Amino acid sequence: MTKLVLLHKAGSIYEDEPETVYDFPRAYLTAVREAIGDWIIYYEPVKAGPRGYFATAQIADVVPKPDMPGRFLALMAPGTFLPFDREVPRLSEGRPLESRLTGPDGLPVSGGLTQSAVRRLDEADFARIISLGLPPDLEAQEARRYDPSLQESPAPFERPVIERLMRRPYREVAFRRKVRAAYDYRCAMSGLQLRNGGGRPEVQAAHIRPVERQGSDAVRNGLALSGTLHWMFDRGLLSVAEDHMILVSHNKVPGDVVRRLIVPGGKLCLPRDPINHPHPAYLKWHREMVFGQVTSAEPAPWE
């Protein structure tokens, strides 16, 4: 097995869905097959955008692309895709983070491998990039963020990189931070941006398609919602149409509740960056598999 950097450009001729599949030509087949069962890092080249290294995932399998001779698909293991808490530039103090892109003088090399869409990645480089994008103490950072009384521990326990990437509590924190920031800490359905007395955002991060049901931790599979609306969304009382209009199960939700909780006009408040808008496939899944199917006997919050 080997780790890789995979270049991804939104809008390219290759039909990538980073959280699920990576589309590539035969020239890279050997390298990608070597990475089956191992981890990759996604990279957005400078000419395509500012993100640099922006996410990680694990390759589960490689298959030919149907009806496209010479093209292949790397299938990502469900539940492994994780966007970085902060994007990582290719250069640090003028030096590449990939040793294979570094010349004998420590400076970046040009041409050749730097233009390759698939690059093998040394273990040490992988660990370094991951730790820059997903810091080992991310959970502690989030805990201290709105509670200055919590002191930074002098020597926090650092888990092995892969163990950290697979820990559900760590992934939940990373997902929550990215989704809430993408929506500017504003509830996507009420439009309200509420904070408690300590400045902590009241908005939560909801998975559209739960991870345990083949969803991902991609921002495109998330909505920033207030606690009550999150409860309603998870239980099928609310959903979102393809045109981002908010759908309400009117036989279960009183009209006065809708008027009090849903933004006037009834359209989802979207992130500024279109790359973070909810993916149509996740919304479709929620409409078909959850909406209208009340999954809890708990009393509604307004009762």
Predicted pLDDT at 4: 97
Q: Which long-range contacts (CB under 8 A, 24 or more apart) does 154-162 make?
A: 161/126, 161/127, 161/130, 161/131, 162/39
Q: Is 124 contained in some domain?
A: yes
Higher-confidence position of 258 and 32:
32
**Residues 129, 176: one domain?**
no
**Last residue within a domain, chosen from 88, 105, 133:** 133
Predicted pLDDT at 48: 72
**Residues 9, 117: one domain?**
yes
Lowest mean pLDDT, pick from 74-83, 108-117, 259-268, 285-294: 108-117
| Residue 88 clears pLDDT 70, i.e. is over it | yes
Taking residues 201-230, report their average pLDDT: 95
Alpha helix segments (H runs only) across the chain: 29-34, 123-133, 138-145, 161-166, 168-182, 227-234, 255-261, 280-289
What is the rounded CA–CA span in Å between residue 11 and residue 272?
18
**Residues 107, 173: one domain?**
no
What is the rounded CA–CA span in Å between residue 127 and residue 125?
5
**Residues 96, 199: one domain?**
no
| pLDDT 10s digits, 106-116 | 788 877 787 89
Predicted pLDDT at 102: 86
Predicted pLDDT at 154: 54
List the one residue out of 159, 140, 137 whose CA is nearest residue 151. Answer: 140
Percent pLDDT > 90 in the chain is 67
Domain that holds residue 77: 3-133
Q: Is 146 contained in some domain?
A: no
Residue 9 is which amino acid? K
pLDDT band at 159 (very low <50, low <70, confident <90, very high): low
What is the rounded CA–CA span in Å between residue 6 and residue 81?
13
**Residues 14, 126: one domain?**
yes
Q: Is 149 contained in some domain?
A: no
Q: Supply the pTM of this predicted model.
A: 0.89
Predicted pLDDT at 144: 82
Predicted pLDDT at 206: 98
Q: Is 150 contained in some domain?
A: no
**Residues 78, 192: one domain?**
no
Taking residues 191-198, report their average pLDDT: 81
**Residues 9, 112: one domain?**
yes
**DSSP E strands, the chain:** 3-7, 21-25, 39-44, 52-64, 71-76, 82-88, 91-92, 95-96, 118-121, 204-207, 222-225, 238-240, 246-248
**Residues 177, 275: one domain?**
yes
**Residues 240, 185: one domain?**
yes
**Residue 78 is encoded by which pair of tokens?**
């469900």
Q: Is 107 contained in some domain?
A: yes
Taking residues 170-181, report their average pLDDT: 96
**Last residue within a domain, chosen from 72, 107, 133:** 133
pLDDT band at 60 (very low <50, low <70, confident <90, very high): very high
**Residues 114, 189: one domain?**
no
Taking residues 238-247, report their average pLDDT: 96
**Residues 181, 129: one domain?**
no
Predicted pLDDT at 151: 59
Predicted pLDDT at 296: 67
> CATH no. for residue 114?
3.10.590
What is the rounded CA–CA span in Å between residue 258 and residue 264?
10
Residue pointed to by tokens 């299938």:
75
Lowest mean pLDDT, pick from 48-52, 70-74, 186-190, 289-293: 48-52
**Residue 95 is encoded by which pair of tokens?**
């030096």
In angstroms, the Cα distances linking 40 to 31, 54, 177 are 11, 11, 22
**Residues 277, 174: one domain?**
yes
Q: Is 204 contained in some domain?
A: yes
Instruction: Work out the mean pLDDT of the chain and round it to a whole number.
Output: 90
Predicted pLDDT at 111: 74
What is the rounded CA–CA span in Å between residue 159 and residue 264?
46
Cα dihedral 25, 28, 34, 36 in deg (nearest 10):
-30
| Residue 221 clears pLDDT 80, i.e. is over it | yes
Q: Total structural domains in the chain?
A: 2
In angstroms, the Cα distances linking 205 to 213, 236, 238 are 17, 16, 15
What is the rounded CA–CA span in Å between residue 109 and residue 234?
50
| Residue 152 clears pLDDT 70, i.e. is over it | no
**Last residue within a domain, chosen from 133, 161, 182:** 133
Higher-confidence position of 152 and 131:
131
- The gap between the terminal CA atoms of the chain, to the nearest Å, is 55
Predicted pLDDT at 13: 80
DSSP state of 115: G
Q: Is 227 contained in some domain?
A: yes
Q: Is 284 contained in some domain?
A: yes
